[in-house]
Homo-oligomer: A and B are copies of this chain.
Amino acid sequence: MAVVNAPTSSAREEETLASAEQTRPAGRGRPRDASRDAALRQAAMEVLSQVGYRALTMDAVAAHARAGKATIYRRWDSKLDLVIDTCTQLVQRNIPEPDRGSIEADLGDFLRSFASFLTGPVGKAAQALVGELPHEPELAAAFRESFLLPQRDVLRRLIERGVQRGEIRADAPVDTVVEITGACLIYRLMLTDEPLDTGFVDRLVNEALMPLLHG
């Protein structure tokens, strides 16, 4: 998977996609125009959320960004690579971690903000990638690392703080609650035609998460 500002040939697969931003060694010729990165990613995002992954064409992205296709392929190896990087780029540091002293308040805050984030263009883009996951291990890894894990980790920390505060019983099924939470958000986002809104989040917290945690 190509990495922005790194020679395509360099293999640094072990790194996280998130830390992809990196500079070319030094170079003798004209330096890369960093503004093209942003323009291309934005173009990709626009096209992706408008027509979906399958109907996204590299020519369309190039045209949207008034760029040449080579300028894209100099940065990313493939259409898939471009889309992955574009999406993960946006997820980074978009996950706030509330700490208001109450597990119920923290849960609500976090889920509401995460839900509204998923409702945006990133959510649409993510959905477009789901179909590719089984046949693209790299994509699958990146997807989990960028979309699933961070949300999971924040959530787990929230709950653990609640445990330490004594709000939650010690033997609460944390893993299960975390999984349920992620699953329900994604489910509504991608499969159901029901809204992923505040009402839903509140109901989820009150009827499922809190009861399970309180035992």
A: residues with CB less than 8 A from B are 51-55, 124, 127-135, 140, 143-144, 147-148, 173, 176-177, 179-180, 182-184, 186-188, 190-193, 203-204, 207-208, 211-212, 215
User: A132 contacts which of B54, B183, B193, B211 (Cβ < 8 Å)?
Assistant: B54
B135 contacts A132, CB within 8 Å?
no
- Measured in the bound complex, the distance between the Cα atoms of B138 and A193 in whole Å is 12
Can you list 14 A-B pairs with a CB-CB distance of less than 8 A?
Answer: A51-B135, A54-B54, A127-B133, A130-B130, A130-B191, A131-B131, A133-B191, A148-B191, A173-B207, A176-B203, A183-B184, A186-B191, A187-B187, A211-B212
Instruction: For A135, give the chain B residue with the smallest CB separation.
Output: B52
Number of copies: 4
Measured CA separation A51–B134 after assembly (Å): 9
Report B-chain residues with C-beta under 8 Å of the C-beta of A212.
207-208, 211-212
Contact across chains for B190 and A183 when beta carbons are under 8 A apart: no
Contact status of A144 and B207, CB under 8 A, knowing A129-B131, A132-B52:
no
Report the bound CA distance from A204 to B208 in whole Å. 13
Q: Please give, as numbers and ranges, the residues of chain B lying within 8 Å of A140 by CB-CB distance.
A: 193
Given A52-B131, A131-B127, do A184 and B180 touch, yes or no (CB 8 Å)? yes
Cβ-defined partner of A187 (8 Å) among B124, B183, B193:
B183
- A190 and B133 in contact (CB under 8 A), knowing A176-B204, A203-B176, A208-B173? yes
